[in-house]
Amino acid sequence: MIFIIDFDGTLATEDTVDTLLEHYAPPRWEELEADWLAGRISALECMREQIGLVRADRITLGKFFRGIKLDPHFRKFWQHVRQFSQVAIVSDGLDYAIQTALRGASLNNLPVFANQLNFIAPDQIELSFPHRQADCQGGNGVCKCAIAKQLATRHGGPVILVGDGKSDTCLASVADMVFAKSSLLKHCIEQEIPHIAFEDFSEVLNVVKTWAQETPLKALA
Domain containing residue 11: CATH number: 3.40.50.1000
Between 135 and 181, where is the model more confident? 181
Residue 220 lies in a domain: no
Q: Kindly indicate the confidence band of residue 109, based on its pLDDT and cuts at 50, 70 and 90.
A: confident
Residue 219 lies in a domain: no
Q: Which domain holds residue 40?
A: 2-213
Q: In 105-167, where does DSSP find H-type helix?
A: 144-155
Q: What is the pLDDT of residue 127?
A: 95
Q: How many CB atoms lie within 10 A of CB 110?
A: 16
Is 0.75 topped by the overall pTM? Answer: yes
Give the residue among 110, 135, 105, 99 at the shortest CA–CA distance from 4.
110
Domain annotation covers residue 218: no
Q: Give the separation between CA 48 and CA 163, rounded to whole angstroms.
A: 22
Average pLDDT, the chain: 93
CA-to-CA separations, 58 to 14, 102, 127, 130, in angstroms, rounded = 21, 17, 14, 21
Q: Which strand ranges, in their side-by-side order, compose the sheet holding 177-180? A: 124-128, 112-121, 86-94, 2-5, 159-163, 177-180, 196-197
> pLDDT tens digits, residue range 158-206?
999 999 999 999 999 999 999 999 999 999 999 999 999 999 999 999 9
Per-residue confidence (pLDDT) for residue 212, from 0 to 100: 66
Residue 221 included in any domain: no
Q: Can you give the pLDDT at residue 220? A: 43
Number of domains in the chain: 1
- Looking at per-residue pLDDT, the higher value among 214 and 204 belongs to 204
pLDDT of residue 213: 55
Task: Confirm if 181 and 199 have CB atoms less than 8 A apart.
Answer: yes
